[in-house]
Every structure is written in C-alpha cells, then in structure tokens.
A and B are shown apart, each in its own frame.
Chain A
C-alpha cells in the first residue's frame, strides 16, 4: 500500500514539475510545427489526384506517361511536374530514388529501372563488404519483394515513418530535461537526508523512482507520437498501411509493408524512450548533479547528429548504427550490415530492441547498487 502511494507521489513530482510541463508543451508545439512545415515543402499531391494512379504497376507504360515531364540536358535530367502531372509526383520520387538525376531518364524503360535498382543494391553491398552469409540473407529477402512495384496512395503512413528521427531527438531531449533530476534533485534540495534514513528510502524508493521515470517517459513518448500521427493522418489520411515498403524506401530489400515497418518503428521508438530514460536516471544517480546530466545528454545529442563513423571501421560503425536515432533514420534502410550472434544473422531492427532492453536492466542494477551506497554530506 505504502509503495503504491510512493509511486503516485513520484509520478506527481514528474508530471507536475513546472520545467517538465514547459518542456513537454514546447516539444509538442515544435513537432506539430515541424510536421505542418514539412507538408509545405513537399510537392502538393491531393489525395484525389494520387488516387487516379492507385493500383497502377510501375512498368514501362507508366514510365512512358512520365516522360513528357523530363528533359535531359548537360548530363542531368530535370523533371518538371506541373498541374497536369501532379498525380505522377510520388511515382517520380520512387524512380529518382533509384536512378538519381545523372542518367538520361528520357530513355528509361521498365527493364532499365529494375536493373538499375539491382545494380545499385549490388554496388552498395560490395562497398559495405558484406560476408557471403550476409549477401545470401539479403538476396533471399530481396527475392521476396514483389516486382514490378505497384503504386498505391500512402502519403500518411509514409510521412509518419519519416518523422521518427525527429521523434527520437525530441524524446532524448525530454528525457534529459525531465529525468535528470530524478535522483539528483534530492541531493541538491537536501531531501536525501530524510529519505535515506526512512524505512523504504533505499531499495524500494530507488525502484519506485525508476518505475515512475519509465512511466513518465512512456506517457511523454505517446504524447509526442500523437503530435505527429494526428496532424499527418488529418492532412493525408492513413491509407497505404498495407502497401509495399519500397514505395517509401525503394532501395530497401525488406519484404515488409509500410504498416509493418511503422509497427517496428513504433516499437523501437518506445524502447528507445525507455533506454534514454534508463540512461538518464543512471547518470542522475551516479553524478548526483542534474545540470551535469542534462549537459552530458545534450552533448551526446550533438554527437549523434553530426558524427558518422566511416565504413572502414566495420565493427565500430556497426555498433554506432545501433543507436536509436540511427535505427530510426534512413541509414536503417541503406546500411545492410547485419549482427552476427549465435550463428545467426539479425537485422538492426531485431538486435537493437534486445540491446536496449539489456542496457535498461544493467542501468537499473548499477543504479541500484550506487543508490544504496549513497551518503549524505560525504
């Protein structure tokens, strides 16, 4: 009974802390603005126009219909999608994601297009120096991808899929601001003196604070996700969940639907939120300094944004690509390195959740050990 009350009060501390409320409100507003502004940058394709092509195979005939929008000059193809061709914009995006603009697209045929895609995939696989087992893994997957691609309207889920990177950054930011004081604040406020000499002030309180922190981050993560899902579903609708992933990521070899990929991303996003929370709270116990934890995590955020490890550092790059924001970024689709474990191969999407869960458990245990040894005024 007392433990339940403690949990409720720990939640109250987190949910009613002014700084947390302000940070959450600010993050929700910013992500909604980002969502709305991203729609204005795109070529506007109305749902009605897009539906005219719904169910069409991306084949030679459809490519021919696109050609009046193309011009090949000075080694570059330019595409001009005017009002008459509005509905072709999403098809053009799929094609140019594979071909780029350097080749003469006015000469493109169906055979060419799918051959170019195969060629691009082989080049990437060679460049990334995949093992024979990895190659075999990917070619088996690729064989399951239906070809030719069939276009269906999918703007809503496709845009949601692309916004997970931003969600990942925001949730790290919110964790840094909201949870850095979970264990550190009481040292700064001299409250530890009261808590640490109370019956449940050590082990039980540590675990309850941890549980409350994870609850808070889950609620915040759901809020943030809804702040993306709701505007996109209002603007574009949610049709297209059952369509092939290649309509959004043409160079992916995963035989998944957009909806399945969205499910994977949501799972990874929620686990990443738990991971960020666990690490933030661990740092909070270790440093007993809220400001140091916040600054440290903001520093990591910058590193995450700007540091890329070159392909020649294979193992290091593999580890770096398992970080949440990399898994939820496009690199998840364009890096084909796999994780070898117990004689099996795993995708980043499969390995990352297990690693995140393990880190959460380790953080819990290490933090518990540290908290139980905490002293006042030493």
Chain B
C-alpha cells in the first residue's frame, strides 16, 4: 500500500502553507518534523481529505482521498479537537465507531479494547468535559484506532501526555507501524528518535528532507537543526 502526494499545494490568502510537495508514504512510521507554522497540520489535513489542495493530488493505491473507501481505512488524530459535553468517554467512542461504520458488536468490542489500551477504564463512564488534557488526548488516540486503520495520521499526538504515557504511546505506535502507514507530526524531536523509520522535515510549506531515519545519524535533533540551517 502506498499513499502518494503529487505536487500538492495549498495557499491561504498571502501564505503558501504547502508548496508543491511530492512524496510517497509506505508501511512503517514516518515522522514529520517542523517548527510551528511550517505547514504540518495543513499537509495532514490534505492527506486526510478534509482539505482540498489548490493543485496536485493525493491518492492511495489509486483511491482518491475524497472517497468513502479511503476514509474507511483512515485513522486521524488532529492536533486539537472538541468533544460533546453530554457524552461520556465510552459514548464518544461508540459514536465515533458508528460514524466510522463499525457494527454495534465490533464497536462494543473495539471500544472496550481501546479504553483498556489507553488506560481510561476508570474514566470511561465519566463525561468528557471532566477529563484532563492528557485523558482527552488518550481518548483521541483511541478514536483514531477504532477502525483498525491501514493509514494512521497523527498530528502532535504526544501533546499533553505525561512522560510515562509518552513511552507507552511510542511503544504502541512502533507496534502499529509494522503493518500500517503511520505519519506522525511533532516538533519534539525525541518523540521520533526510537520509532520513526522515515523522516520528513518541513519548513515554510516546503519539504526540506525526506529519507530514511538512519540517514539522520544518532542525534536526530542535531540532524534536524542542520537540515533547517542548510536551507536558511
């Protein structure tokens, strides 16, 4: 399976958020690095089909990102998202399961499984409005995994997680990435050090680097800064 972006461009008024980017994502974890405002979130939205590029195309094995088939194999965790105050965590996951097309039986099974996976067993019945930032983030991770996505796109997934949760999350992603396309954006370089197979570095809407993680050497932070400086 391949997710192909072909010369995609997105411009907001005077700013080019994504500038003629082309790349192919394959099985494994790809880390997307870039400072705030580099265009990571816009790129991810384009890959999820919730934002249409001004030019260029995104497709997966010939499937357009605008199709129901594509959405059926996609999992997405946005940087920040709201919640329904009248829903409990479990309700939220059951609702999202339905929107993702899961049968009632599968929805119940996956919801239970994921609640355990993200450690929200005690809070599952509580209203989401009572959740801390970290709990909401874990709920977000759970919803992204509900449909066993073949393509998983996560925007700053470790934001709000405590160090222990972060380690658990990295292990989870490393496992998931073995069989799926995972794209994970962050501006915290250390998040990617042990789990990324490939790296993409963005600045001002442009792709500065796209290659194997191993090419970045031991210290990823030094590599990231050198790539950014080189382009300056």
Q: Tell me which of A6, A16, A375 contacts B52 (CB under 8 A).
A: A375
Give B126 Cβ to nearest chain A Cβ, in Å.
Answer: 15
Is there an interface contact between B147 and A194, defined as CB atoms closer than 8 Å?
A: no
Q: Which A residues are in CB contact (< 8 Å) with B103?
A: 1-2
- Using A6-B98, A197-B76, A199-B147 as known contacts, say yes or no to A190 and B81 having CB atoms under 8 A apart: yes
A198 to B52, CA, bound (A): 16
Is there an interface contact between B82 and A190, defined as CB atoms closer than 8 Å?
A: yes
Q: Which A residues are in CB contact (< 8 Å) with B51?
A: 375-378
Is there an interface contact between A205 and B50, defined as CB atoms closer than 8 Å?
A: no
Interface string of B74-89 (1 = CB under 8 A from A): 1010101111111100
Q: Which A residues are in CB contact (< 8 Å) with B41?
A: 377
Is there an interface contact between A5 and B96, defined as CB atoms closer than 8 Å?
A: no
Is there an interface contact between B50 and A200, defined as CB atoms closer than 8 Å?
A: no
Chain B residues touching A, range: 35 or more
A70 to B199, CA, bound (A): 97
Residue of B nearest to A199 (CB): B101
B104 at the interface (CB under 8 A from A): yes
Is there an interface contact between B104 and A191, defined as CB atoms closer than 8 Å?
A: no
Interface string of A183-202 (1 = CB under 8 A from B): 00010111111111111111
Residue of B nearest to A21 (CB): B86
Q: Which B residues are in CB contact (< 8 Å) with A197?
A: 48-50, 71, 74, 76
Q: Which A residues are in CB contact (< 8 Å) with B101?
A: 2, 198-200
Give A237 Cβ to nearest chain B Cβ, in Å.
Answer: 41
A12 at the interface (CB under 8 A from B): yes
A201 to B78, CA, bound (A): 15
Q: Which A residues are in CB contact (< 8 Å) with B100?
A: 2, 198-200
Is there an interface contact between B99 and A201, defined as CB atoms closer than 8 Å?
A: yes
A196 to B52, CA, bound (A): 12
B27 at the interface (CB under 8 A from A): no
B30 at the interface (CB under 8 A from A): no
Q: Which A residues are in CB contact (< 8 Å) with B72?
A: 199
Q: Which B residues are in CB contact (< 8 Å) with A201?
A: 71, 99
Q: Which B residues are in CB contact (< 8 Å) with A17?
A: 86
Q: Which B residues are in CB contact (< 8 Å) with A18?
A: 85-86
Is there an interface contact between B50 and A198, defined as CB atoms closer than 8 Å?
A: no
B102 at the interface (CB under 8 A from A): yes
B204 at the interface (CB under 8 A from A): no
Give A345 Cβ to nearest chain B Cβ, in Å.
Answer: 48
Give B148 Cβ to nearest chain A Cβ, in Å.
Answer: 12
A250 to B146, CA, bound (A): 66
- Name the interface residues of B181-218: CB closer than 8 Å to any CB of A: none
B114 at the interface (CB under 8 A from A): no
- Using A2-B104, A375-B52 as known contacts, say yes or no to A191 and B71 having CB atoms under 8 A apart: no
Give A373 Cβ to nearest chain B Cβ, in Å.
Answer: 8
- Using A193-B45, A201-B71 as known contacts, say yes or no to A3 and B98 having CB atoms under 8 A apart: yes
A189 to B128, CA, bound (A): 13
Is there an interface contact between A189 and B82, defined as CB atoms closer than 8 Å?
A: yes
Q: Which B residues are in CB contact (< 8 Å) with A188?
A: 82
- Using A2-B104, A378-B51 as known contacts, say yes or no to A191 and B99 having CB atoms under 8 A apart: no
A200 to B91, CA, bound (A): 17
Query: Which of A1, A193, A200, A378 has the largest count of B CB atoms less than 10 A from its CB?
Result: A193
Give B208 Cβ to nearest chain A Cβ, in Å.
Answer: 23
Is there an interface contact between A2 and B102, defined as CB atoms closer than 8 Å?
A: yes
Q: Tell me which of A1, A194, A198 contacts B81 (CB under 8 A).
A: A194
Give B216 Cβ to nearest chain A Cβ, in Å.
Answer: 30
B158 at the interface (CB under 8 A from A): no
B107 at the interface (CB under 8 A from A): yes
Give B195 Cβ to nearest chain A Cβ, in Å.
Answer: 23
A9 at the interface (CB under 8 A from B): yes
A284 to B76, CA, bound (A): 25
Give A97 Cβ to nearest chain B Cβ, in Å.
Answer: 50
- Using A9-B91, A199-B147, A375-B51 as known contacts, say yes or no to A193 and B97 having CB atoms under 8 A apart: no
Residue of A nearest to B68 (CB): A199
Residue of B nearest to A201 (CB): B99
B143 at the interface (CB under 8 A from A): yes
A9 to B92, CA, bound (A): 9
A12 to B92, CA, bound (A): 12
A147 to B103, CA, bound (A): 66
A13 to B87, CA, bound (A): 8
Q: Please, could you name 23 A-B residue pairs with CB atoms under 8 Å apart, sorted by A?
A: A2-B98, A2-B100, A2-B101, A2-B102, A2-B104, A2-B107, A5-B94, A5-B104, A6-B95, A13-B86, A190-B80, A190-B82, A191-B84, A194-B78, A194-B81, A195-B99, A197-B49, A198-B101, A200-B99, A376-B45, A376-B51, A378-B51, A378-B52
Q: Using a CB–CB distance below 8 Å, which chain A residues touch chain B?
A: 1-3, 5-6, 9, 12-13, 16-18, 186, 188-202, 205, 375-378
